[in-house]
Structure 1
């Protein structure tokens, strides 16, 4: 699947979204500097994944661990320092708990939030891979 197809994904085709998030950030590489230049968008993406992990099942999606699994894959691909790992995990948990504190059932606002986060995740992924995809070589 081409990366550009990520942009056309909506709620009904969410299965195509999650693998593209990981592929996109894998393509960006995993620099070993204290904070890579794409760290802020990556932290925001972690928060989005946490929100989707809570909201998607709340609104009837049958993918109970998809977004958490994608977060795990992203962290494994990054191989972050303990501090960065904690920051990414905290962002994921913040995205999850922020919606868990407010929503007990699926509402039109929850559906709108899902759509917004899918769009923002696509935008962040596109921007990071476009800007940093060829500049940073993965180190293993």
Structure 2
């Protein structure tokens, strides 16, 4: 692990090589107006999506390096759109971090397994994102 420039966040060491599977499944979520309160099952879907975004972040970084913040940025955007209450915000952050740590531990190197895991994560993320976009407030 290494620290970022500000010294306040631990990051996995950079691993080079491999390709990146494009994952645009978070886009439909961004079009959903999210200011209204979500039903309990929708809140759980948001938590599940945060976990998947954390997984995607770890898997992308293993092949693209720690400078790639694509999925952290998407997570932050989701938080801006959803404007969760304090309790849900904590659960979303915890889920993102748990997904990141799980995949970081499972896939420390960019290999065929990491790329396959990234594709599977994209499928799960797209399904959750589309479900949330359809449910809308």
TM-score by length of 2: 0.74
**2:26–2:126: 8 Å Cα contact kept in structure 1?**
no
Q: Give 1:32's match in structure 2, choosing from 32, 37, 57.
A: 37
Gap runs ≥5 in structure 1:
1-10
Q: Give 2:85's match in structure 1, choosing from 81, 86, 89.
A: 81
Residues 29-51 of structure 1 deviation map (CA, whole Å, 9 limit, x = unaligned): 23236x54411111111011111
CA 1:12 to 1:97, structure 2 compared with 1: closer, same or farther past 3 Å?
closer
Residues 44-93 of structure 1 deviation map (CA, whole Å, 9 limit, x = unaligned): 11011111111112123797111001101111111111111100000000
Alignment of 1:100-115 (within 5 A): 100-115=104-119
**1:18–1:67: 8 Å Cα contact kept in structure 2?**
no
- Residue 7 of structure 2 corresponds to none
The number of residue pairs the alignment matches comes to: 118
Q: Distance in 1 between matches of 2:29 and 2:133?
A: 11
The worse-fitting range, judged by mean Cα deviation, of 82-91 and 61-70 is 61-70
Q: Distance in 2 between matches of 1:127 and 1:64?
A: 27
Q: Cα RMSD (Å) of the superposition?
A: 2.3
CA 1:62 to 1:93, structure 2 compared with 1: closer, same or farther past 3 Å?
closer
Report deviation, 1:13.
Answer: 3.4
Q: Give 1:97's match in structure 2, choosing from 94, 98, 101.
A: 101
**2:53–2:99: 8 Å Cα contact kept in structure 1?**
yes
**1:21–1:121: 8 Å Cα contact kept in structure 2?**
no
CA 1:40 to 1:101, structure 2 compared with 1: closer, same or farther past 3 Å?
same
